[in-house]
Amino acid sequence: MSTEVWFAPGRANLMGEHTDYNEGFVLPFALAQGVTATATARADGLLALRSKQKPDDPVTVSLDALAPGAVNGSAPGSAPGAVNGYAPGSVPGWAAYPAGVAWALRAAGFDISGASIDIDSDLPVGAGVSSSAALECSVALALCSLSGLSVPREQLALIAKRAENEFVGAPTGIIDQSAALLCQEGHAMLLDCGTLARTQVPFRPSAAGAVALIIDTRVTHALVSGEYAARRTECEEAARLLGVPALGLVADAGAVEALADPVLRRRARHVITDSARARSIASALQRDGDRGEGAGRGDAGGGRRGEGAGSGDAGGGRDGEGVETYRYVGGLLTEGHVSLRDDFEVSWPQADAAVDVAIGSGAYGAKMIGGGFGGSVLALIPVEREATVRSLLSETFSERGWTAPEFLDAVPSPAARRLGHADR
């Protein structure tokens, strides 16, 4: 029997929230923290799932009960679509993610074997750092490896997303799985969620004397809850009224004035401006990286649809060049947060307070990351201000009677990788 050990990282997103399912741009980077799946092949067609974080909740399912043909039928006495209790929506809790991946791999025609899989994670759950995609992707890679399958990572991202959409029932976009599988160390990845074209741009805050800090506000969110889906529906409605296939394809934020409904106008404005901000940050980081290398590689915007790559200017000359770039990026982070708070209305009090306190104590900028209604804030901070930012945040949360925030270093790290392999 062979054993495979695979790790997939969580992610933070510099810009482009709720733009992925609107075919706009996103700019995530992979974290050092993530999920490890240790998988041993088994010949009985079962998938036995255990998690160190959920010791009382092991789940064993039969792969055949997850078969693509079975999930469209219905078993007597069960919910529509359920067969042997293991159809979409029926595998309980955390195990739905790995079981969904096995289902989606088989639905895509990949003949995977049964496996015993042990999960371990150092990512907080429900904190907006994509622990679910890290779980899906580590399991997807482990299952493929055990069965000797080499599936292109772009395809694996779509398979893992399908698991989340159709098996778990969360109508999410493609950013999280793409980040876990395709990011590069020391880079953020500009992804065009319409075409799936991607560009890696240098992102090394430490080289500019800065740190990227994740502030977990300890308010947890769930993407299967109704608000995420409601935002998605509003965006689709706004696109329909504007006569475009998706809001991310609109370049001119002024176009939203054609929408009579003020709520839809705000939602559309957020998506269009956040997507533009993602491109602006990518261009600034690319220019900064080029200057650092003394090369002139041009912009990172990809030139899609003939737009300019970014509206802003990173400013600064060679001296203190990195500092100016990161100050500029920080300013855009804060703009992004204001847009999520006021136009998209997915922020929450602890996130707004964290952004204000971080900026007030010296951060270049900060924004909530992920789907919203709970989770984390990402702040870009000059290294000499980091300790102050942390302590003022803890103080503010305590004064307001909120659970103390937790902090994670957000170091741009490599994508998913194999940690080990053994044949027994």
Stretch binding ligand GLA (CB under 6 A), from 63-71, 114-122, 171-179, 264-272: 171-179
214 binds ligand GLA (CB under 6 A): no
| Closer CB to ligand GLA, 178 or 413, in the complex | 178
Q: For the CB of residue 273, give the shortest distance to ligand GLA in the complex, in Å.
A: 14
Q: Report the residue from 4, 8, 15, 17 that binds ligand GLA according to the rule CB under 6 A.
A: 17
| Residues 301-320, interacting with ligand GLA (CB under 6 A) | none
343 binds ligand GLA (CB under 6 A): no
| 7: phi then psi, degrees, rounded to nearest 5 | -120, 135
Q: For the CB of residue 247, give the shortest distance to ligand GLA in the complex, in Å.
A: 13
Q: So which residues are the catalytic ones?
A: 176
Q: Tell me which residue of 170, 117, 174 sits closest to 146, measured CA to CA.
A: 117
CA distances from residue 82 to 72, 73, 136, 139, 296 in whole angstroms, order as listed: 8, 7, 21, 23, 57
Q: How far apart are CA 89 and CA 419, in angstroms?
A: 31
| Closer CB to ligand GLA, 82 or 329, in the complex | 329
67 near 135, Cβ under 8 Å? Answer: no
Q: How far apart are CA 40 and CA 210, in angstroms?
A: 42
> Hey, CA dihedral for 287, 411, 133, 107, is it positive or negative?
positive
Contacts of 309 (CB under 8 A, 6+ apart): 279, 280, 282, 283, 299, 300, 301, 302, 303
Tokens of 238: 């706004």
Q: Report the residue from 131, 138, 172, 334 that binds ligand GLA according to the rule CB under 6 A.
A: 172
371 binds ligand GLA (CB under 6 A): yes
Size of the site for ligand GLA (CB under 6 A): 12
Q: Report the residue from 10, 18, 30, 299 that binds ligand GLA according to the rule CB under 6 A.
A: 18
Strand partners, 198: 191
370 binds ligand GLA (CB under 6 A): yes
Helix, strand, coil shares of the chain as percentages rounded to 5?
45, 20, 35
Stretch binding ligand GLA (CB under 6 A), from 14-22, 66-74, 184-192, 300-308: 14-22
Q: For the CB of residue 386, give the shortest distance to ligand GLA in the complex, in Å.
A: 25
| Closer CB to ligand GLA, 169 or 362, in the complex | 169
173 binds ligand GLA (CB under 6 A): yes
3-class SS at 341?
helix
Site pattern 387..406 for ligand GLA (x: CB under 6 A): --------------------
| Closer CB to ligand GLA, 88 or 370, in the complex | 370
Tokens of 358: 């971080």
Q: Tell me which residue of 326, 269, 282, 334 sits closest to 308, measured CA to CA.
A: 282
Q: How far apart are CA 200 and CA 203, in angstroms?
A: 9
126 binds ligand GLA (CB under 6 A): no
Q: Report the residue from 20, 192, 216, 343 that binds ligand GLA according to the rule CB under 6 A.
A: 20
CA distances from residue 189 to 200, 272, 412 in whole angstroms, order as listed: 5, 19, 10
| Closer CB to ligand GLA, 15 or 66, in the complex | 15
Q: For the CB of residue 174, give the shortest distance to ligand GLA in the complex, in Å.
A: 7
176 binds ligand GLA (CB under 6 A): yes
Q: Report the residue from 223, 250, 332, 353 that binds ligand GLA according to the rule CB under 6 A.
A: 223
Q: Which residues contribute to the site for ligand GLA (CB under 6 A)?
A: 17-18, 20-21, 130, 172-173, 175-176, 223, 370-371
